[in-house]
């Protein structure tokens, strides 16, 4: 089980500061969609150059032109790129094909997928690397989480690794770990904590024990 740090509400300088503080306790650093929108793929490039020992995920949430967008993210140094599960199969196939050429990985984000089990099985057959259940900011505001969805995809996914994101904090992490995802994605649970290093260290301990 691995731990991913999601950086959404920062600029490049702020991202570097957070990673410098907690990077020793995480496996993957996610350059979140808001950062990519605000800063462009330059954010991915600068973070990868500054922290080459860490895997960098570009959360592009690709919906179309999968091959092209994966190519551009790969050129910027991304190790993992996200594609939306609600996108067309052809988009996901294109993303996977380009990722294989570039020796990169594809994560499919299942945010807003209606039939989670059916789509997870379909996406798994497209040979993606990760399938992620995700409660976005708007879902979290309504008190929703992805714990049940994680159990659902675990029932049908046979090839891809499973991941979970959205509102995970120290007090809810044990419940997540019980479901045994391959990757736990934490944003505000670390970045909004008054002691980021302590929170990241404790989360890493729990994840590695799980």
Q: Residues of the chain whose pLDDT is less than 70?
A: 136-137, 139-145
CATH code at position 95: 3.20.20.70
Nearest residue to 122 (alpha-carbon basis) of 149, 156, 151: 156
3-state secondary structure of 126: coil
Residue pLDDT, tens place only, 93-107: 999 999 999 999 999
Task: Return the closest-CA partner of residue 170 out of 145, 202, 143.
Answer: 202
pTM for the complete prediction? 0.96
Domain count, the chain: 1
Dihedral pair phi/psi, residue 80, rounded to 5°: -135, 140
DSSP conformational letter for 186: E
Boundaries of domain holding 65: 2-209
pLDDT digits (tens, 9 = 90+) for 37-64: 999 999 999 999 999 999 999 999 999 9
């Amino acid at each position: 089980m691995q731990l991913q740090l999601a950086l959404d509400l920062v600029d490049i300088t702020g991202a570097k500061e957070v990673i410098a503080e907690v990077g020793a306790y995480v496996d993957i650093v996610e350059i979140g969609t808001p950062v990519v929108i605000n800063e462009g793929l330059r954010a991915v490039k600068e973070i990868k150059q500054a922290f080459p020992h860490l895997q960098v995920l570009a959360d592009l949430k690709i919906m179309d032109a999968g091959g092209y967008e994966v190519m551009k993210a790969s050129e910027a140094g991304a190790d993992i790129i996200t594609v939306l599960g609600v996108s067309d199969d052809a988009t996901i196939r294109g993303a996977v094909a380009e990722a294989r050429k570039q020796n990169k990985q594809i994560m499919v984000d299942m945010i807003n997928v209606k039939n989670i089990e059916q789509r997870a099985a379909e996406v798994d057959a497209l040979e993606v690397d990760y399938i992620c259940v995700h409660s976005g900011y708007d879902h979290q505001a309504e008190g929703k989480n992805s714990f049940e969805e994680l159990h659902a995809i675990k029932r049908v996914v046979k090839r891809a690794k499973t991941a979970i994101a959205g509102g995970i904090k120290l007090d809810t992490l044990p419940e997540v770990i019980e479901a045994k995802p391959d990757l736990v994605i934490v944003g505000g649970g670390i970045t909004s904590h008054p002691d980021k290093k302590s929170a990241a260290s404790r989360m890493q301990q729990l994840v590695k024990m799980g």
